[in-house]
Amino acid sequence: MRRPSDNAALAYALERANELGLPCVVYESLRPDYPFASDRFHTFVLEGARDMATGLEARGVTHAFFLPKTRDEARGMVAKMMARAAMVVSDDYPTFIIAAHNAHSAARAACAYIVVDDCAGVPMALFPKEEYGARTIRPKIHKVKDAWLLPLHEPKPKIDPLTPKRLALPFDGVDFEKADVAKLVAACEIDHTVQAVAELPGGAVAANKRLDAFLAHKLTGYAVDRNEPTRDATSHLSPYLHFGMVSARRVALAARAWADERNAADVAEPFLEQLLVRRGLAYNFAARNPRHTTYDAIPAWAKATLDEHRRDPREVTVTLAQLTDARSPDEVWNAAQLELRTRGVVHNYMRMLWGKLPLTWMKEPRDVFDALVHLNDRFALDGRDPNTYASIAWCFGIHDRPWPERAIFGKIRCMTSRSARSKLDLVGYLAEARSWRDDL
Ligand SMILES: Cc1cc2nc3c(=O)[nH]c(=O)nc-3n(C[C@H](O)[C@H](O)[C@H](O)COP(=O)(O)OP(=O)(O)OC[C@H]3O[C@@H](n4cnc5c(N)ncnc54)[C@H](O)[C@@H]3O)c2cc1C
């Protein structure tokens, strides 16, 4: 998790280092060859690393950041670093490349390799089976949350941090006091066509500012306004939660403290439902369903009904390239795609519509699923997350129920841009989207 405090893996590593009488070194690396590596993600992570460097220095913990520019340069560094460790502590994260990376590294480590389960609000390990839906996991989360949503004990290191010379790193670490993030990103062999999002700077400092602003100005109206894309009523914390720049624990504790001060538990509850229950359900899905990134993860009833409607006529067909360029036949869908491409995030209601409509333009539901995963993973700052795959799978029936049968959608919950236009005030959103096209 990319935060210098309130970080359970770091707290655990510090405790063990203190017991062993050894220094604790936080090693971060950002390779150029992870799927969809781009200016957008590299910038966000490097901005976050600056906060890591400052925050860890203040705590007296050594920080080393390796930024290989090419795939060749990147090869073998984890093994070299592990060879010098008495113990390795990592985060338990159920998807993208992290789960496989942990398994691979643990198999090769000559020392203990520990993963800490601290990404989901309450630990994923408490729910060993794949949950059927929010209604099955909700009571379980509510039962344990008070035992887990507690401020973290922050151990102090007993051993002084190592100087860069004593550390004798097998690479030139990034010096974040002098680093020019844009120049570093430009030097990496990554996709430079997916640009950084200036209004969403990465890092724990920006995450905590966003949390404070949400509590001060928006939580009061969250329950009523969260579905309106033009009201800016949500926290915008998902990219920061994804990269671990703020913990779900800290966000939940802050929302609860806000509610306690105002005797307003019912006002905070809808937000905590999304943060702990819906997000927790997604983490459970990713941790317990090995096929969670694929169409094969959707329930049998959903597959059967989509299959029955595969031959239903589509008025228009679109390709992945047209979807990528926001050139579908639907203006509202295009607006959501433009938001994703230029801002790296999409409002939740628009995102549901974004996930549903392509079924009406592509024959194979499996192709639609893959296209959505591709677009979200490529452009979303909060993508490549358990929420990504659970939410896309939700558009195809997971954690949902059969609905009255319709053309193309079968018994999958249907959404149309016509109903969105009638329910929501989209005039401002669509006007803004026109300016996003100019930013492409
Ligand atoms: C097709 C589709 C794709 C999605 N892809 C992603 C994704 O890649 N990454 C991602 O984090 N979310 C994804 N979501 C879920 C949701 O849209 C975002 O979490 C939310 O819009 C983030 O905005 P926010 O931080 O302002 O949320 P807020 O409303 O302020 O909520 C706070 C936090 O609660 C969690 N949360 C909110 N809504 C949901 C939800 N419906 N399901 C699970 N957790 C939720 C998020 O962590 C969010 O940051 C997707 C939804 C759909 C329908």
377 in contact with ligand 1, CB cutoff 6 A: no
**pLDDT digits over 387-434, tens only?**
999 999 999 999 999 999 999 999 999 999 999 999 888 998 999 999
Residue ID of nearest Cα to ligand 1 atom 10:
387
Q: Are strands 112-116 and 87-91 parallel, antiparallel or unpaired?
A: parallel
What is the phi/psi pair of residue 355, to 5°?
-80, -20
279 pLDDT above the threshold of 90: yes
Q: Which of 126, 123, 114, 115 is nearest to 149 (CA)?
A: 123
What is the rounded distance in angstroms from the CA atom of residue 62 to the CA atom of residue 56?
7
Using the atom order of ligand 1, give the atom closest to the CA of residue 214. 30
248-262 vs 265-272: helix axis angle to the nearest 10?
A: 160
Shortest-distance atom of ligand 1 to CA 226: 29
Ligand 1 pocket, residue 50 CB under 6 Å:
no
The pLDDT of residue 377: 97
Write the DSSP assignment of 21-36 as a string of letters. T---EEEEE--S-STT
Q: How far is CA 10 from the centre of its chain?
A: 20
pLDDT single digits (tens) 1-50: 899 999 999 999 999 999 999 999 999 999 999 999 999 999 999 999 99
Tokens 């841009």, located at residue = 417
Q: Is residue 166 classed exposed, middle or buried when 0-12, 13-18 and 19+ CB atoms within 10 A define those classes? A: exposed
Cα 428 to ligand 1 centroid, rounded to whole Å: 22
Residue 167: predicted pLDDT: 83
What is the whole-number distance in angstroms between the Cα of residue 57 and the centre of ligand 1? 33
Q: Using H for helix, E for strand and C for coil, what is the string for 277-314?
A: HHHHHHHHHHHHCCCCCCHHHCCHHHHHHHHHCCCCCC
Q: Report helix, strand or coil for 68.
A: coil
Residue 32's pLDDT is 96
- Residue 402, pLDDT score: 97
The answer as to CATH 3.30.1180.20 being correct for domain 295-438 is no
- pLDDT digits 0-9 by tens, 339-384: 999 999 999 999 999 999 999 999 999 999 999 999 999 999 999 9
Q: Is 376 in the pocket of ligand 1 (CB under 6 A)?
A: yes
With 90 as the cut, is the pLDDT of residue 439 above it? no
Domains of the chain, residue spans: 1-118, 204-288, 295-438
Query: CA angle 155-156-157, nearest 5°?
Result: 115
Tens digits of residue pLDDT in 47-86: 999 999 999 999 999 999 999 999 999 999 999 999 999 9
The closest residue, in CA terms, to atom 32 on ligand 1 is 275
The residues, ordered by sequence, that sit 6+ positions from 74 with a Cβ below 8 Å of its Cβ are 29, 31, 32, 33, 68
Q: What is the pLDDT of residues 288-341, one digit of tens each?
A: 999 999 999 999 999 999 999 999 999 999 999 999 999 999 999 999 999 999
Q: What is the pLDDT of residue 161?
A: 84
The answer to whether 108 touches 83, Cβ cutoff 8 Å, is no
**Nearest C-alpha to atom 22 of ligand 1 is from which residue?**
238
- Residues 184-217 pLDDT 10s: 999 999 999 999 999 999 999 999 999 999 999 9
Distance (angstroms) between ligand 1 centre and the Cα of 275 equals 9
Give the CATH number of domain 1-118: 3.40.50.620
Could you tell me what percentage of the chain is helix, strand and coil, using 3-state DSSP and rounding each to the nearest 5?
55, 5, 40
Backbone angles phi, psi at 344, to 5 degrees: 75, 5
DSSP-H helix ranges across 229-278? 238-242, 248-262, 265-272
Closest CA to 203 of 243, 260, 153: 243
- Supply the pLDDT for residue 39: 98
CATH class of 204-288: mainly alpha
CA of 70 to the centre of ligand 1 (A): 32
The per-residue pLDDT for range 137-175, each reduced to its tens digit, is 999 999 999 999 999 999 999 988 887 778 889 999 999
425 or 135: which carries more pLDDT confidence?
A: 135
pLDDT at 223: 93
